[in-house]
A and B are shown apart, each in its own frame.
Chain A
């Protein structure tokens, strides 16, 4: 049995965990003081040695990303923190920033020192007013205490409702004051990022993991997790479970273990399908309960660890309805720059609406897969690729359910049965 290992979440249960005082009570800002006294290259090496990989979805080694920033180039360098948490199912950075914004600021200081940047930007989504307050206040307090402003500045940038801005190059365009549309790579942000200057873009959880690594050492971090997926991470469990919530555990824990901790699927029901890392990661079923939830384990089973957003759906849920809703989301959020994604997601929605209403034909399933094939890998960014994941995986595991919509001339499920208040006599 894997034991939970709260590091990021260790002090969230203290009422003032979000204040400077609360953060300092547990050694806050001692790691940045230690790092600032180190050679920047040594800090990069430490993060490389720790094995920390990006927590925003792709799992790229954080230290290696930092190492790509050219040194001695006499250019401004920038750190940009991606706090635009919007992937359906993903809900880890938002509670982290509400409970402890200072750990991110301390991580920014360390990362800026390592990559020789004077400026960090935190790009936070705009639909979380109170989290914006908490981060803004933390930055103000850090300036007032002299923690910021001595060579390193942190600026909070607030988004305005666009999923695509979670894509790193769209985020940079948005931060420069344009419509948030992805850029063609190369050049990568490490060479030409914000204002065409060398830029590191990291997820909130990645940067927030750095202070503990500096404080406790690479070996300590290496001691947790699996062979290639080191450390602890936040798993976010939601949906048809008895107790949803955040579970910080070493990488490699399984859904079976997390479900045990959460009291299981809601009483009287069984697991039908789930996402390992948000809606852009191919669906899993009850056959995948023992897949180790690390980067390699989930990939070997045909999906992606993504953001570790474990959305659980029981047998009352219509998979076609679920997939249609996600597809409508991708269509709405497609920025319109690349034709395969802009037009493809539109057609996916049309066909899925017909199928859910029982108006399609079996040939539509082949058409859906053909469309997915024509979207996958054909756009600047991965939004379109993500849109295909729920469709191809659901047809793979639940083809019969699609067919049932056609033979019955409509959806065979009662939407009331899947609601949280269904049992309460609704």
Chain B
């Protein structure tokens, strides 16, 4: 894909957020993923050009961070937390069953390109364990069955909405644009907090 003048203007606006252009590498890599779905060679070249860096310097940064994907992921990228707490509480079982159910391994994509799978580290939602993420949106308190239902809904083209997130799950590319700092206008959707987040407050109001 070619980067249009409009794309380059967006990239320029990202660079202008910072006192020094090089700081924009990370949002620009997210932006490339929003266009191509992963970090393509062409994307690296474009970033190098707009930041006046060598492509090798951009690649060095890209390969350091696990969210930048060197190969295409699914339209819905599913992460199962298998760090200790989630793993113990069911994350290991969920991850094993999803691999089996989808017929793919870690860091692989289904043949229809709909779903990819990754075991992820702690995603800061331990009070909602076991946690599954899709395009980095929260799916709280998962079970083996609910996780299978979730990926089935993705393959059917009608993904279940996140527990704490917008009313509808956005695609991987759309989520990548949000991570490039572009506002998709969905911030007002979804709950402000889930029940565990509010537990202490609720008990306090009961005089505890």
A interface list, Cβ under 8 A from B: 3-6, 9-10, 12-19, 76, 85-91, 93-95, 98-99, 119, 125-130, 132-134, 136-138, 140, 155-163, 174-180, 195, 235-240, 243-249, 261-262, 279, 309, 311, 313, 317, 321-322, 325-326, 329, 332-333, 335, 415-416, 418-421, 426
Q: Are A245 and B127 in contact (CB under 8 A)?
A: yes
Q: Which of B66, B89, B194 has the most A CB atoms < 10 Å from its CB?
A: B89
A128 in complex: contacting residue of B61, B136, B184, CB < 8 Å: B136
**Which of B64, B83, B123 is in CB contact (< 8 Å) with A329?**
B83
B130 to chain A, nearest CB (A): 7
Q: Are B136 and A127 in contact (CB under 8 A)?
A: yes
In the complex, which residue of chain A has the Cβ closest to the Cβ of B207?
A: A3
Point out the residues of chain B lying under 8 angstroms from A245, CB to CB: 127, 195-200
Please give, as numbers and ranges, the residues of chain A lying within 8 Å of B23 by CB-CB distance.
157, 175-177
A134→B202 CA distance, assembly (Å): 23
> Is there a chain A Cβ closer than 8 Å to B60's Cβ?
yes
Please tell me if the beta carbons of A119 and B19 are within 8 angstroms of each other in the complex: yes
Option from A17, A87, A248 in Cβ contact (under 8 Å) with B200: A248
Contacting pair A90 B124 (CB below 8 A): yes
Taking a contact as CB atoms under 8 Å apart, the answer to whether B90 and A419 are in contact is yes
Cβ contacts under 8 Å, B55 to chain A: none
**A238: nearest chain-B partner, CB-CB:** B126
- Closest beta carbon of chain B to A26's beta carbon, Å: 13
* Pairwise interchain contact B88-A161, C-beta atoms closer than 8 A: no
Residues of A within 8 A of B51 (CB): 177
B2 at the interface (CB under 8 A from A): no
- 26 residue pairs from A and B, CB less than 8 Å apart: A4-B203, A12-B201, A17-B192, A19-B188, A76-B19, A87-B122, A88-B83, A126-B65, A126-B179, A127-B79, A128-B124, A128-B138, A130-B166, A162-B66, A235-B200, A245-B196, A248-B200, A248-B204, A311-B85, A321-B88, A322-B88, A329-B84, A418-B88, A419-B90, A420-B129, A420-B141
Candidates B124, B192, B201; contact of A10 at CB < 8 Å: B201
Which residues of chain B from 122 to 177 have a CB within 8 Å of any chain A CB?
122-130, 133, 135-138, 141, 143-144, 162, 164-166, 170, 175
Chain A residues within 8 Å of B133, by CB? 127
